[in-house]
């Protein structure tokens, strides 16, 4: 009997082992192991679900972004999770991820890439074009806790596995195509109480290029 040990960490595929035993020409028992790769990544399908909501459409590539809201019950409390889908110009579609119901601790000082499976909410999307890279990205934003609105940046591709967290807690404000600046919001607290808004202008690496304080009555509560 042969002892076969297999050790693998599979991010995109799961290895399935099938034991096939037989006798050889000499009548001796042989034990063999066939290894079959079974894909576990989300498959590309012919269309998005019927209940998918269109969030954004890119005129340049013809790609579309959709969200499917899922109702989930936890001990009687309702919670909404979402599936985020991309569709190409030919109508091929892929579920990129389901939002994560567990709270994720993010780095608020340094933009970092996280697995897209750590994204907690998706409510809005916007396709933007990086002229230097000649590449289309998508900005995702969502509110996971009825207060903060997190912002992420990822390539607009079926192959995307990570998203850059832009250290924004108050949403996505738009994109300046001329300057190639991504606009996002955050907030701080006055010593005497109350909040103030912060408008950030960032590059595609999440680096803050300009920051402006916004005094608004909405932040003074």
- Given a contact cutoff of 8 angstroms between Cβ atoms, the answer to whether 113 and 163 are in contact is yes
Whether pLDDT at 217 is above 90: no
pTM: 0.76
At residue 106 the predicted structure's pLDDT band, cuts being 50, 70 and 90, is confident
Whether pLDDT at 167 is above 90: yes
* pLDDT digits 0-9 by tens, 117-157: 999 999 999 999 999 999 999 999 999 888 899 999 999 99
Query: What 3-state class would DSSP assign to 219?
Result: helix
Question: How high does pLDDT run on average in the chain?
Answer: 81
Whether pLDDT at 214 is above 90: no
Q: Where do the domains of the chain lie?
A: 1-41, 44-219
The residue among 159 and 217 whose pLDDT is bigger is 159
Number of neighbours of residue 173 by Cβ within 10 angstroms: 15
The residue among 70 and 8 whose pLDDT is bigger is 70
- Given a contact cutoff of 8 angstroms between Cβ atoms, the answer to whether 150 and 165 are in contact is yes
Mean pLDDT, to the nearest integer, of 68-90?
Answer: 78
Measured distance CA(52)–CA(13) in Å, rounded:
27
The residue among 62 and 195 whose pLDDT is bigger is 62
């Amino acid at each position: 009997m042969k002892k076969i040990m297999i050790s693998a960490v599979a991010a995109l595929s799961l290895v399935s082992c099938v034991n096939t035993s037989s006798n050889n020409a000499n009548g001796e028992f042989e034990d063999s192991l066939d290894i079959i790769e079974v894909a576990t990544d989300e498959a590309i399908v012919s269309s998005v679900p019927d209940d998918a909501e269109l969030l954004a459409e890119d005129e340049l590539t013809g790609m579309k972004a959709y969200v499917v809201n899922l109702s989930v019950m936890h001990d009687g409390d309702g919670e909404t999770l979402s599936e985020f889908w991309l569709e190409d110009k030919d109508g091929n579609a892929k579920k990129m991820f389901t939002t994560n119901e567990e709270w994720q601790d993010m780095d608020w000082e340094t933009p970092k890439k996280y697995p897209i499976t750590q994204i907690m909410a998706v409510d809005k999307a916007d396709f933007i074009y990086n002229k230097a890279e000649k590449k289309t990205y998508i900005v995702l934003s969502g509110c996971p806790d009825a207060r903060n609105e997190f912002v992420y940046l990822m390539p607009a591709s079926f192959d995307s596995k990570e998203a850059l967290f832009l250290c924004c807690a108050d949403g996505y404000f738009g994109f300046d195509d001329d300057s190639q600046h991504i606009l996002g919001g955050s907030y701080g607290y006055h010593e005497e109480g109350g909040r103030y808004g912060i408008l950030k202008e960032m590059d595609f690496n999440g680096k803050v290029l300009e920051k402006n304080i916004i005094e608004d009555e909405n932040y003074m509560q």
